[in-house]
Amino acid sequence: MTNMRVLATDLQFPEGPVVMPDGSVVLVEIRGRRLTRIYPDGRKEVVAQIPGGPNCAALGPDGKMYVCNNGGFSWIPTRNTIMPGPQPDDYLGGSIQRVDLQTGKVRDGWSINAGSTRCEGRTTLVFDRHERPVVLGPRQAPRPPIWMSVRSITSSLA
């Protein structure tokens, strides 16, 4: 087995790690409802508080962090851990949000709740070779990927 080193503990359901050019890792904490940066020396920094359920992150071509927000879960304690449960009373619906890593400002971007295309349960956000964001990863029933453009996200942020 390779040597491993624990960089951070006490994270609240971490997902979607993004390795940054400076060697830090930015990830979402779904239960903590935040975007967190972990530095190589183990320091943790809250970049932004994000209501709902920040489920994954991807660094956009514009240097901003894009977060796929599934709208939130209720949380169920089990014997050894806490697991996501059904939609809570304060469920927000799915969306893509843009976070300025310098200021921590969160902008709601693109709501993905129109018609049968919904963001809830989506777990992966990536940018393709043409710098288009793609949302993947249905939680339950199979759903097609959601293709969009940075322009469609950022136009609603203006």
pLDDT digits (tens, 9 = 90+) for 94-136: 788 899 999 999 998 765 544 444 455 556 777 778 777 777 6
- 32, pLDDT greater than 80: yes
Q: What's the pTM?
A: 0.78
More confident residue, 29 or 117: 29
CA angle 9/77/57 to nearest 5° reads: 50
Name the β-bridge partners of 25: 19, 38
CA separation for the pair 110, 145 (Å, rounded): 15
Q: Which residues of 72-100 are buried (b: 16+ CB within 10 A; e: fewer)?
A: bbeeeeeeeeeebeebeeebbbbbbbbbe
Distance (Å, whole) CA 157 – CA 46: 22
How much is the pLDDT for 34?
Answer: 97
Residue pair 12/30 in contact by the 8 Å Cβ criterion: yes
Q: Is the pLDDT of residue 137 over 80?
A: no
